[in-house]
Structure 1
Amino acid sequence: MIEILNPTELDRARGAGALVADILQTLKSRSTVGTSLLDLDRWAREMITEAGALSCYVDYAPSFGRGPFGHHVCTSVNDAVLHGLPHAHALADGDLLSLDLAVSLRGVVADSAISFVVGETRPTGSTEMIEATEQALAAGIAAAGPGAHVGDISHAIGTVLTGAGYPVNTEFGGHGVGSTMHQDPHVSNTGRPGRGYRLRPGLLLALEPWVMADTAELVTDPDGWTLRSASGGLTAHSEHTIAITEDGAEILTLPAA
């Protein structure tokens, strides 16, 4: 299903995006050495509830997971990159943490992810990896606009990631959002320009470049959810929800200045 939002729904999407961005930045500020991933999940639940929003993850039960997910935010540490199930892990100095959050507010969903290093230590390659996903995300957004194709976004993202020396996994990527978290079209993190769905004003897309240091192969934890690098190397993940407008693309999940 592909939804095209009307102006009223787009205003609601802006509110959802602002909420997601605010929660992620608050969680980042609280992600200090010794913080438990379960505390991050609890704080996310409290902020979502206080805002009158709904978590998109608690009842999330896709075919690839051992669902329902049962938590409010994905917490992926070091070699974990996607769908990290919160558990009793205390963050350590130098942990590379990715937080992925999707909420529904007034019937419209926004989805975003950030990666950062906890504490003072910076593991080798961590800063460069995070920056590569952020730069790929910016390139994908720059390629989005009315009349462009999904393949244009995928090509822009993939060009940055491969140019930085990272293998690209195509099992999971960006996607449409709207009244639900995961919709068509799928937005791969590499692709050919001029191919795929032609973008229209009112379309919401969650773009999410992610990489693993030296492999494109994922393995799944015994928890049935957490996806890790098969090599055990570091990973990073960046994501924004954007709205296609008459003039280009509007980022809905930017943190407040």
Structure 2
Amino acid sequence: MLKDFLKKKKRYATIPSERAKQEVPEGLMTKCPACRTIMYTKELKKNLYVCDTCGHHHRMAAYDRMNSIFDSGTFVEFNQNMTSLNPLGFDAYEEKLEADRKKTGINEAVVTGEGQIGGFGAVAAVMDARFRMGSMGSVVGEKITLAVERAIDKKLPFILFSASGGARMQEGVLSLMQMAKTSAALQKLHREGGLFISIMTHPTTGGVSASFASLGDYNFAEPKALIGFAGRRIIEQTIRQELPDDFQTAEFLLKHGQLDRVVPRLEMKETLRNILDIHAS
């Protein structure tokens, strides 16, 4: 009798089968890396990928970013079909690019376009860290430069959301040349009296932080975004000093004068609308 009772208990104590586990759709839930809260991905997306529990800003895809700042139905993308070549013959570079295109649904690490924010026209470029870690190659530099030139021609403000690991090593010196090219285009925008708003998101590092990302008339960042040129460990080894815990965060840079403001994502569109309104004349 006791044996039958134990068998019965054992039947109800079994772990779920693999089939039962697979019934939960992939991507249904997301765990916050900061506070470990598990939430519905759909609800997280509605909140612009900001954790409702701790305020952690999750990475955001380029098109989601565009939709979050532009008025509904006004955004028009341009230079969408520009793609990178392999000028240095780097092994498996084309295969990696194609894999990222399939994974992200975009052709390069930046999306550019034009639309309205609160009724005010603007040209924007949004970098996407899912594509080659947002690294800056020839196409990224060219698309940003063309977007700046479009802003000059149409006398519109230019807005850039940066998210990058720096220059793309597979394109060597051609990547480094984009630092000068984009900076020269922004200097022309400045001479023409145009407005450039730079928003640095997590992460903005390397040659991107050392060039166009830091040249805004307004330099903003999202909360706790990693912003810097060289890595923390390299700097500590070079200067032989221990750096503060918050070193290279948006808040640290704001405190030391490199940023004008740290803007939470849920306040970003209203902040941009107000600035565009001020400069509308």
TM-score, length of structure 1 as denominator length: 0.29
Rg comparison, structure with higher value: 2
1 or 2 for the larger relative contact order (CA 8 Å, sep ≥6)? Answer: 1
Whichever structure has more strand as a proportion of its residues is 1
TM-score (structure 2 length as normaliser): 0.27
Greater helix share, structure number: 2
